């Protein structure tokens, strides 16, 4: 199956780039971050202890998460507009660090790819753990300043405050024991802070076409 794995830190532009790469290649798009946000929302609604790995694992295993393009459904209810709140932003990395949660979500991610016969998948451990045999692995990054400014441009807020939040998220994602954020072996590192989105998309599509040709 043809999988383009796009990993990288928060605010690097993964969603925007992945959606456009999917359109350019004709592959379906999967936002795995939205899946973890659905679990975070489920935990938040129930007022559960997000530091309890086993409790979070139970929620993840019992939850039916469906993500298609920009629509995220939890147990057949569309919660797309609810999972991008500041409250969910603050807790999602804690919940996503729990191994039982990651195990449950990886299983659903692999099932999704199998059902769709491939796809453009973005997240933080796609190339390293979920699909290590992806035909193309990208690690998309950007400077902290650029990432903070992008968040402000999208949603408003204070640049310094958002930069601090991003730095905290980076620390949690890169220091967790289960699949810490890092470039996958044989991945291509692309810095989106020095290129336009169109340039990044063009580079990734070109790399994909070459990889498919070389793969045979």
Q: Report which of residues 199 and 70 the model is more confident about.
A: 199
Q: Which residues pair with 169 in a beta bridge?
A: none
Instruction: Give tens-digit pLDDT for 126-171.
Output: 999 999 999 999 999 998 888 888 888 877 888 888 888 888 888 8
Per-residue pLDDT at 45 exceeds 80: yes
Q: Return the closest-CA partner of residue 19 out of 32, 7, 28.
A: 28
CA 32/CA 158 separation, integer angstroms: 27
**Which domains occur in the chain, in start order?**
2-215 (3.40.50.300)
Work out the angle at residue 172's Cα, subtended by the Cα atoms of residues 34 and 40, and round it to the nearest 5 degrees. Answer: 35
Instruction: Give tens-digit pLDDT for 57-91.
Output: 999 999 999 999 889 999 999 999 999 998 998 89
Per-residue pLDDT at 216 exceeds 70: no
DSSP symbols for the chain: -EEEEEE--TTSSHHHHHHHHHHHHT--EEEHHHHHHHHHHHHHHTT--TT-HHHHHHHHHH--EEEETTEEEETTEE-TTTTTSHHHHHHHHHHHT-HHHHHHHHHHHHHHHHHHTEEEEEESSIIIII-TT-SEEEEEE--HHHHHHHHHHHH---HHHHHHHHHHHHHHHHH-SSS-S-PPTTPEEEEGGGS-HHHHHHHHHHHHHHHHHHH-
Mean pLDDT, range 184-197, rounded to an integer = 91
Instruction: Give tens-digit pLDDT for 87-131.
Output: 998 899 899 999 999 999 999 999 999 999 999 999 989 999 999
């Amino acid at each position: 199956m043809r999988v383009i794995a796009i990993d990288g830190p928060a605010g690097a532009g993964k969603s925007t780039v992945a959606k456009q790469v999917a359109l350019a290649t004709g592959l379906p798009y999967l936002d795995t971050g939205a899946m973890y946000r659905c679990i975070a929302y489920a935990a938040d609604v129930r007022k559960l202890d997000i530091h309890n790995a086993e409790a979070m694992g139970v929620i993840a295993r019992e939850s039916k998460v469906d993500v298609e393009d920009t629509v995220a459904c939890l147990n057949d209810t569309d919660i797309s507009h609810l999972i991008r709140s500041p409250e969910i932003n603050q807790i999602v990395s804690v919940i996503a660090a729990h191994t039982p949660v990651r195990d449950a979500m990886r299983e659903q991610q692999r099932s999704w790819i199998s059902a769709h016969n491939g796809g453009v998948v973005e997240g933080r451990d796609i190339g390293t753990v979920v699909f290590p045999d992806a035909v193309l692995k990208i690690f998309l990054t950007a400077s902290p300043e650029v990432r903070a400014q992008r968040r402000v441009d999208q949603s408003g807020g204070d640049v310094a405050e958002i930069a601090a939040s991003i730095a905290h998220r980076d620390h949690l994602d890169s220091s967790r024991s289960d699949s810490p954020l890092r470039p996958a072996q044989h991945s291509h590192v692309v810095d989106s802070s020095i290129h336009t989105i169109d340039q990044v998309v063009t580079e990734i599509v070109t790399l994909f076409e070459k990889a498919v040709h070389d793969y045979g």
